[in-house]
Structure 1
Amino acid sequence: MMFFKQLFKYYFIFILFLSCSKNENNATPLIESSSKELTIFHINDQHGRLANFSKIKYIIDQEKEKTNVIVVCGGDIFSGNPVVDNHDEKGFPMIDLMNKVGFDVSVIGNHEFDYGEAILKDRFQQSQFDWVCANVNMNATGIPEPNEYKTIIKNNVKITFLGLVETNGKENATIPSTHPWRVQNLTFEDYRDVAANYSEVKENEQSDLFIALTHLGNSSDERLATNFPYFDIIIGGHSHSKDNETINNIPIFQAGSNLNYLGKLQLVINNKKVESLDYELIDLGKFSDYDSTLKELVDSYNEEADLDGVIGFSEAYHSKSAVGSFYTDALRMEMNVDISFQNTGGVRNSLNEGDILKREIYSIDPFNNGSVTYTMTVKEIKDFLKGSKAAIYYSGIELEQENGFITMYKNQQELNDNISLTIGINDYIPAVYDQYFTQTPSYTSNTTAETIINYLENTTTPINYTQINNYFQFQ
């Protein structure tokens, strides 16, 4: 019996020795690593461009085989491609392609409102990704209220995105840069008045990172980083810039515009902080691989649009300024009015030499603005030009300014302030400058783009405005 007791004692000591030896060989206790890997892809300001979505899907699908992936958009999905803007369901091709690529979240851009409330409601309901925007209230419009912020979880990674949109659309109102009549039932706040409300979101959500997904523009993103320094990263849009900078220790990114680039952030996150960050701005024009199924869908959208019909001829290349002079001339003659104006920001493209296609006119004027007429006195027109300081193209008159006075001529004859003239314009101008356009306008049945197309289809005269510069802005 004594022998077995001694044997058990030595066996116990041996096991204890092995256990102690194991601890000595691993002096640091085993602790599960808190490092997490994540890739974020981002685009912004695609403005209806479709072609490169097939390349984007290929790139993203390849990355998903390696690590956690989140795909985000910095806003301005719509307005800029007639294939999208004139689809039977305006804007739907963009939603369809973003769904199929696998986007997780998008902030609302100012041009998301361009089609009006009813269409935005439909597009929101068709989206398989989340929308975020903390400074809009949809009120009783029926448009689904976007999340102020949304937390996306990919395996063991938890990222929260706060959405903010710019509100610089009108001098005497807080609205985005869109047609004011299309957001009149919505309420907006300046991003600076709401950003401070979200300082505790990261802690409350227990997120690994808190990211501002904005449609504010680069300078506002920089101010956001300076004045509200609780974001880990800012991913932006609106200024169409290619940003890769750090302000107040907060990295800020933006990926150009028109779907020419895809931003790629490769992150290592440790203890809820960015441990390492590698950034690449992928030039999609230099990338050749693509997802064939998505490319076929894009091709089908382009073919169905039927926008390649020839409607006129341009004798030379026209810059945007020359296009503006042509545009107002065509608007004036087709609408049969005395004069016409067009805001310079409403001319979005140049015009190539040669045959003019429908799609070119829609790319010049993508906003689906209505064509309206007003009757105003010369003095009322001068008050608008002087008070608004709007940059415009014009037709039907000559304008001069000197020593704070505007002089208006027609056929080289100075016009008296009491003379009444008919004006043909897009309905965006009176909506923005409503203090100068107080009458009820007369609407035509066509958008301004359709009006220009009708003019070209009804004339055989080639277009050449290269020597004309009907531009005015009161100084």
Structure 2
Amino acid sequence: MKSINFIIKYFIISVLFLACSKNSENTQIPTNQSQEITIFHINDQHGQLDNFSKIKHIVDEEKKLSNVLLVCGGDIFSGNPVVDNHPQKGFPMIDVMNAVGFDVSVIGNHEFDYGELILNDRFSQSKFSWICANVNTSNSTISQPNAFKTITINGLNITFLGLVETSGKDNDIIPSTHPWRVQNLTFEKFENSVVKYANLKESQQADVLVALTHLGENSDFKLANNYPYFDLIIGGHSHTVTNQTVNNIPIYQAGSNLNNLGKIKLSIKNKQIESISYQLINLNNYTNFDAAIKEKVDYYNANSNLDDIIGFSEAYHSKSDVGSLYTDILRKQMNVDLTFQNTGGIRNTLDAGNILKREIYSIDPFNNGSVTYSMTIAEIKNFLKQSKIAIYYAGVNILQVNSTIEIRDENNQQLNDNTTLTVGLNDYIPAVYDTYFTQTPTIKPYTTAEGLIEYLQNNTGAINYTQVNSYFQYQ
């Protein structure tokens, strides 16, 4: 009897051993078995660094439980002077994202703000992949990014296709950045690019195909409706908190300025999403952090030399108040008759009390140059009427009377159409609206932000523009 029991036990052990040996040799996971993966995402951080230590902690905790990827929906630059005015513009963001462990980012429109050479340097320093299907850099100094990236994790193939918006100029196809900084690049509308990748999931043998976009919420909806190749869309650009399903495709966006971290949990079976759940994590309410990342961020913040006091504000200034302040100070600094500033170029408010250098750079983060033109009143009116640009201005009074624009001097005297004024503005405006600014400008030796800082440093009077309304847009 003992002999028979021994034989039975030996047989069972042998079968189990062979079964385990077979599984250990076969690293492929059966196609009929569900697998879990978590994709964390951010977008439009615009240079904000402080919450990355929290992201690192959250991601590392999740890695103990699941397969994890960490991705970005673009616009990592422009918005924080610690990043934008570092000796290597933008490098602190790359350094921190490398340390946190990002896997892939789509190129956003503000990635081009520093110019070609700097962007190429930042690309080369990145340990994560940059993707974009609708840009061609062959005539520039920027290395051509891949259109897509397939990441294999624990036997799963996750493919990301990158797309960037191209609504930066009415008569051109470029992203919303300074046109002079993308002169050597060629862009396609995303609709023309994405059709080339209709079979990408099959060709990459992907378990999940993700559109990682910097198009904005409405364009993501259009992408889902008209080009339903994707299992999900992770977006950016519109700074929205998006959690919607369009044409059976989930679409997510996590707001902006590193306030939130999106968490997508997927269960995948037979190359299909079996189940999906979503959580938007408010990083400002999250208390745990990674000490090493926090130390790195604290170092960049402490060594930025941005806390010099350069002026005093008597009151809190809203963005519209800041627009009035901005244009009037630049008018005086540039010694011109009239200044314009596009409303989208005012990126922050101004607190009451001491004005710090960092506040001016956060208001005006784009490193735009300062230029002047000579323009007749008729040319100025034509520009305002035809472009319908929303502006802040200083030096004159601009009114719309029915369908007519009137421009009056500071004594409220209407100026004749043949009168010539010197006009000062940032060089982004004439680059975008080049059909209205055809002459060669006079270039000032400072950026608009530097002009503001220099004026405030040299003029000790308190600032208060809360009662000034200098907004105009032709209706």
Normalising TM by the smaller chain, what interval? Answer: over 0.9
Partner residue in 1 for 2:98: 99
Residue 116 in structure 1 maps to residue 115 in structure 2? yes
Question: What is the aligned partner in structure 2 of residue 86 from structure 1?
Answer: 85
Quick one: which amino acid aligns to residue 369 of structure 2?
Answer: G
Partner of 2:471: 471
| Residue 367 of structure 2 corresponds to residue 368 of structure 1 | yes
Give the whole-Å Cα distance in 1 for the aligned partners of 2:287 and 2:305. 27
Name 1:158's counterpart in structure 2.
157
Q: How big is the shift at 1:171?
A: 0.5
Q: Does 1:441 align with 2:431?
A: no
Question: Aligned equivalents of 1:81 and 1:364: distance in 2?
Answer: 9
Shift, 1:143, TM fit? 0.8
Distance 1:105 1:308 in 2: 33
Distance in 1, matches of 2:153 and 2:185, equals: 33
Q: Summarize the alignment of residues 175-254 of structure 1 with structure 2, pairs less than 5 Å apart.
A: 175-254=174-253
Give 1:428's aligned residue. 428
**In the alignment, which residue of structure 2 is the partner of 1:408?**
407
Q: Which residue of 1 aligns with 2:35?
A: 36
In structure 2, the partner of 1:399 is 398
- Cα distance in 2 for partners of 1:376, 1:355 equals 37
Name the amino acid aligned to 2:264.
L
Distance 2:429 2:188 in 1: 23
**Cα separation, 1, equivalents of 2:267 and 2:393:** 55
One-letter code aligned to 2:210: I
Encode CA deviations 1:430-460: one digit per residue, 9 max, x unaligned. Answer: 0000000001111111110110111111111
8 Å CA contact 1:335–1:424 kept in 2: the answer is yes
User: Rg larger in 1 or in 2?
Assistant: 1
For structure 1, list consecutive stretches of 5 or more residues without a partner in the other structure.
1-10, 23-29
Inter-partner Cα distance in structure 2 for 1:395 and 1:426: 14
- Indicate the residue corresponding to 1:269 in structure 2: 268
Q: Using the alignment, how far apart are the partners of 1:356 and 1:397 within structure 2?
A: 27
Work out the CA distance in 2 between the residues paired with 1:465 and 1:142. 43
Q: Say what the alpha-carbon RMSD is for the aligned residues.
A: 1.6
Q: Which residue of 2 aligns with 1:4?
A: none
Counterpart-to-counterpart distance in 2, 1:399 and 1:465: 18
Alpha-carbon offset, residue 217 of structure 1: 0.5
Residue 419 of structure 1 is matched in structure 2 by 419
Distance in 2 between residues matched to 1:264 and 1:168, nearest whole Å: 29
Q: Distance in 2 between matches of 1:232 and 1:370?
A: 43
CA distance in 2, matches of 1:161, 1:455: 47
Residues in 2 aligned to 1:46 and 1:160: alpha-carbon distance in whole angstroms: 23
Q: Distance in 2 between matches of 1:143 and 1:66?
A: 39
Separation of aligned partners in 2, 1:293 and 1:150: 29
Q: Give the % identical residues.
A: 65
Q: Which amino acid aligns with 2:474?
A: F
Q: Per-residue deviation at 1:420?
A: 1.1
1:56 aligns with 2:84: no
Matches within 5 A, 1:12-31: none
Post-superposition offset of 1:403: 2.6
SS across alignment from 1:243 = strand
**Cα drift, residue 173 of structure 1:** 0.4
Q: Tell me the secondary structure at the aligned position of residue 96 of structure 2.
A: helix
Q: Larger deviation: 377-386 or 163-172?
A: 377-386
Q: Is the 8 A contact 1:36 1:156 kept in 2?
A: no
* Contact preservation (8 Å) 1:132, 1:148: yes
The equivalent of 2:20 in structure 1 is none
Aligned equivalents of 1:469 and 1:440: distance in 2? 31
Partner residue, 1:8: none
Structure 2 distance, partners of 1:133, 1:451, is 35
Query: What whole-Å deviation, never above 9, does each CA across 1:79-100 have from its counterpart, x for those lacking one?
Result: 0000000000000001101111
SS in 1 for 2:436: coil
The farther-off stretch of 60-69 and 211-220 is: 60-69
Query: Are the counterparts in 2 of residues 112 and 120 from structure 1 also a CA contact under 8 Å?
Result: yes
Question: 3-state DSSP class of the match of 2:312?
Answer: strand
Distance 2:412 2:243 in 1: 53
8 Å CA contact 1:317–1:353 kept in 2: the answer is yes
Looking at structure 2, the residues matched to 348 and 134 of structure 1 have their Cα atoms a distance apart, in angstroms, of 29
Q: For the Cα contact (< 8 Å) 1:347–1:364, is it kept in 2?
A: yes
CA distance in 1, matches of 2:242, 2:437: 39
Residues matched between the structures, number: 452
Q: Is there any run of 5+ residues in structure 2 with no aligned partner, and where?
A: 16-22, 24-28
With the length of structure 2 as denominator, give the TM-score of the two structures: 0.93
Distance 1:144 1:66 in 2: 37
Deviation at 1:140, TM superposition (A): 2.2
Q: In structure 2, how many angstroms separate the alpha carbons of the residues matched to 1:287 and 1:263?
A: 13
Task: Work out the CA distance in 2 between the residues paired with 1:203 and 1:460.
Answer: 66
SS at 1:143 equivalent: coil
Pairwise mapping of residues 262-301 of structure 1 onto structure 2 (< 5 A)?
262-301=261-300
Find out whether 1:132 has 2:135 as its counterpart: no
Look up the equivalent residue of 2:175 and give its one-letter code: P
Tell me what 1:306 maps to. 305
Measured after TM superposition, the shift of residue 461 of structure 1 is 1.2
Contact conserved, 1:265 with 1:279, CA < 8 A, in 2? yes
Deviations 1:16-64 (A, max 9, x none): xx99xx9xxxxxxx99452111110100000000000111111111111
Report the secondary structure of 2:303's partner residue: helix
The 5 Å alignment of 1:383-398 reads 383-398=382-397
Give me the whole-angstrom Cα distance separating, in 2, the residues matched to 1:356 and 1:386: 36
| CA distances 1:311-344 after superposition (whole Å, capped 9, x unpaired) | 1111111111111001000000011111100000
Does the Cα contact within 8 Å between 1:58 and 1:291 map onto a contact in 2? yes
- Find the residue that maps to 1:245 and give its secondary structure: strand
1:384-410 deviation per Cα after TM superposition (whole angstroms, max 9, x unaligned): 111111000010001111132111111
Aligned-pair distance for 1:142?
2.3
